[in-house]
Amino acid sequence: MDARTKIAGDRSRLLTLAAILYGTLGLLALAMPDALSSRLDDLTPSPLVRAAQSGVGSIAVVSNALGIAAVYRAARAQFLATAGLQRD
Amino acid sequence: MLFPTIDFAVFFALVFPVTWSLNSWNFSKKIWLVAASYLFYSFWDWRFLFLLFFSSIGNFCAGLLIGSAKRLGVRRLVLAVAVALNLSVLGYFKYYNFLSLTLSNVLARLGLNVDFGSTEVALPIAISFLTFHGLSYIIDVYRGRIAPSKSAVDLLLYISFFPHLVAGPIVRAHDFLPQLERRSDPSTIRVGQSVFLILGGLFKKVVIASHVSTLFVDPIFVEPTNYGTIDLILGMYAYAVVIYCDFSAYTDIAIGIANLLGYQFPQNFDQPYRALSLQDFWRRWHMTLSTWLRDYLYISLGGNRHGTFATYRNLIITMGLGGLWHGAGLQFIVWGLMHGVGLAVERALGLRQERDAPRRGRFTIFIAWFVTFHFVCIAWVFFRSPSLDAAAAYFGTMFSNPTVPSTITWFVAVWMAVGFLTQLIDASYFRKLQGYYERSPLAAKVLVPFAVIYLIAVLSPVGIPPFIYFQF
């Protein structure tokens, strides 16, 4: 394998990894925006936290409009009820 | 900062791109990783960063002194001082209160009331792992297995690297330091294996260990006398599931994360409850600890070089000290001594060779597995109990409360069964799945971890308890 092919292969591998990492995190944020919101609410207020809350708020609006967040809430409630566990 | 949290996801989402962006500037990358690791550690208690820093620098200087000394006597002296300093730090933080209390109790029985006081200092998280890594480095330098590191940054990173910092695996200096000398090679990233280790680890910890622990094991071990024979027997099996799914989860995630950053860690677990002997068990359970104890303690004591009796003695001392390392309490020493005596008995009876297994009959193999598994489970009761008296109460009640009905629920039983299933599924199936994953299109590569983490979030308990090995 020549050096140019190896560099191209390495770059492709890292881009794939980045896509997996950020794609997964992005989808999770869209599917469960409530978890992000409640974590941010636990932090000490600061301009950075407020900016993050605003960003997560936008994600939550999209998620709720598409009905994605509701699917998680329903699945979670169903699981807790079936298992006899206390609610979040 | 726990692995299965939003905080860690955000932390890693920042560390990953910066680390690889700096890959062409290896020194800067290492400085960055040290800073990230110190930030990671500071989430527990920033004051112990000084301990982490000065411990690393002390071992770095000791390595240089050992490497530059011409006379064996000087090398030995430096090694002895460095080992003593490492152990005295560990002793002060972890064992002073235990020894003080034990000694006071012994003297009180002799009619002498002496109070040695207590440190009244919180135990720094992961102090035992820091000590193991420091000792590994200076002993390897002394034995000539590695050259003393010329870079303090390399040693700071070796000891503090965040994936292994808190609960292992114990990475040897001669395995890790050479990886720091050059830029990381992205082709060494095993994407499928790393993703599966991380996802499997999250599932084992968040779903299996957390539910079985909080709903069944913890209440039983808090007050065993309130439970009947069936629950206490099941509680013993359940803890075997919990500690495996908890600890192997941490090291699986650590190995996967390190690999995503371009570094290789050794395997730490290999389906330990399939073991057919105690020796086989220790080749599958916390493998980096058992090889550490073998190389730095058992062999230093003389290993098997001085006759049969000395070999048994060395096994028992090694495992007894291994038990004490896990915690400052008599119950941990008893746990270690049980394993030490068990290993010595196996050796005396010639029962330790797992490679003989194919030549044994099925019944003999079953008996070997049954005895090994139950020995390990019984020993776990000492490990989990808050004291030796509590362990005695556990076993005492186990044989005296046969009529009390069981409290186990179908929900706990299902997760216990899934936990044991992790021991039965052949590792080749996981390798096949990893192969499919690596060959799949990018969309599937993203959807699989998303779907698994989504499922874990749905099935998770309310709140995740910390990893068991954090206390060690």
For the stretch B200-224, pLDDT in tens is 999 999 999 999 999 999 999 999 9
Query: A35, B6: Cβ pair inside 8 Å?
Result: yes
Among B133, B211, B326, B339, the active-site one is: B326
Single out the residue of B89, B118, B90 nearest to residue B103, CA to CA: B118
Spatial neighbors of A67 by CB under 8 A, at least 6 apart, are none
Q: Say what the pLDDT of residue B468 is.
A: 62
Distance to chain B for A56, nearest Cα, Å:
13
- What are the angstrom distances between the C-alpha of B276 and each of B289, B353, B405, B461? 20, 9, 33, 34
- Segments making up each domain of chain A, as ranges: 3-83
Tokens coding B11: 């932390």
Cβ–Cβ under 8 Å, residues B419 and B207 = no
B339 is catalytic: no
Mean pLDDT (whole number) for B7-25: 94
Check B454 against A16: CB less than 8 A apart.
no
Contacts for B144 with CB less than 8 Å, ≥ 6 apart: none
For chain A, 88 residues long, give each residue's pLDDT as a single digit of tens. 677 787 778 888 899 999 999 999 999 999 999 888 888 888 888 898 899 899 999 999 999 999 899 999 999 999 998 888 776 6
Q: What is the mean pLDDT of residues B22-47?
A: 92
Distance CA B452, CA B46 (A): 34
Residue A47 identity: P
**Average pLDDT of chain B?**
89
Q: Which residues of B touch A17 (CB under 8 A)?
A: 16, 189, 191, 260
Return the percentage of chain B with pLDDT > 90, whole number.
Answer: 61
| Cβ contact, residue pair B458, A79, below 8 Å | yes
How far A75 CA sits from the closest chain B CA (Å)?
A: 7
- Per-residue confidence at B470, pLDDT binned at 50, 70, 90? low
ipTM confidence score: 0.91
B437 has a pLDDT exceeding 80: yes
Beta carbons of B255 and B198 less than 8 angstroms apart:
no
pLDDT tens figures, B443-469: 999 999 999 999 999 998 877 666 666
Residues in chain B within 8 Å Cβ distance of A87: 462
Minimum CA–CA partner of B414 in chain A:
A83
Please identify which residue in the block is written with the tokens 């820093």. Answer: B53
Which pLDDT value is given to residue B395? 92
The answer to whether B284 and B270 are in contact (CB under 8 A) is: yes
Tens of pLDDT along B76-131?
999 999 999 999 988 888 888 878 888 888 888 888 887 777 777 777 877 888 88
Residue range B269-291: average pLDDT? 94
**What pLDDT is attached to residue B287?**
93
Provide the token pair at B394.
Answer: 């556990």
